[in-house]
Amino acid sequence: MDSDCGCYYNGQYYQNGQNFWEGEGCLNYCTCNGDTGDISCEPSSCSSWEYCQIVNGEYGCYPLPQGICYAVGDPHYSTFDLLTFDFQGTCHYVLASLYNDTSGLQDFQVEARNEPWMGLPVSITVEVFVMVYGYQVDIKKSDPGIVWVRKLNHYSANCIHFIIISNKIVSN
């Protein structure tokens, strides 16, 4: 058989060397061997930050539509792809944002401001900023229980703050 030939599998044609996920749940990853016309499949699955979905009639692993990242302590970070690290910088940092113009996703940015802690060679997060839907939400260590919300536009710097009292948010 010519190596330019492909394979047929479940009524679908695949080119030599083409990989595909087989069946619901993406439990097998298959490859077409054009030399033999055979399909070989290995048990596999999507990663923990992916899900199995049909796109253009074929199953595939795609990034989860949401993810979790966090900063905690002096500060310890966990990224969307589940990597963890410590970072003792004492500046203003971007923690998360859209990397490019991603269709269907709202533009957002999460920033944090770190300061030195008690003269030690460690830092702590003292302020977190979330910019989304035309607003900036600030949470400050210096204002426990208060969340500052500011509309972002070129003409106004109006601030509203919310006070959290007994798990209820109160605007003043």
Q: How far apart are CA 148 and CA 150, in angstroms?
A: 7
* Backbone φ and ψ of 139, nearest 5°: -125, 120
How many structural domains does the chain have?
A: 2
Task: Please report, to the nearest 10 degrees, the dihedral formed by the alpha carbons of residues 120, 83, 65, 10 taken in order.
Answer: 180
In order along its 172 residues, the chain shows pLDDT tens digits of: 445 789 999 888 999 999 999 988 899 999 999 999 999 999 999 987 788 998 888 899 988 777 778 777 778 888 877 788 888 888 888 888 887 666 667 788 999 899 998 988 889 989 999 999 889 999 998 988 888 888 887 444 445 555 554 444 444 4
CB 72 within 8 A of CB 61: no
What pTM was computed for the model? 0.54
Range of the domain at 56: 7-63
* Backbone φ and ψ of 54, nearest 5°: -90, 125
Among the candidates 63, 79, 108, a domain finishes at 63
Domain check: are 14 and 48 in the same one? yes
Domain check: are 150 and 74 in the same one? yes
Domain check: are 39 and 119 in the same one? no
Domain check: are 47 and 123 in the same one? no
Amino acid at the residue 62: Y
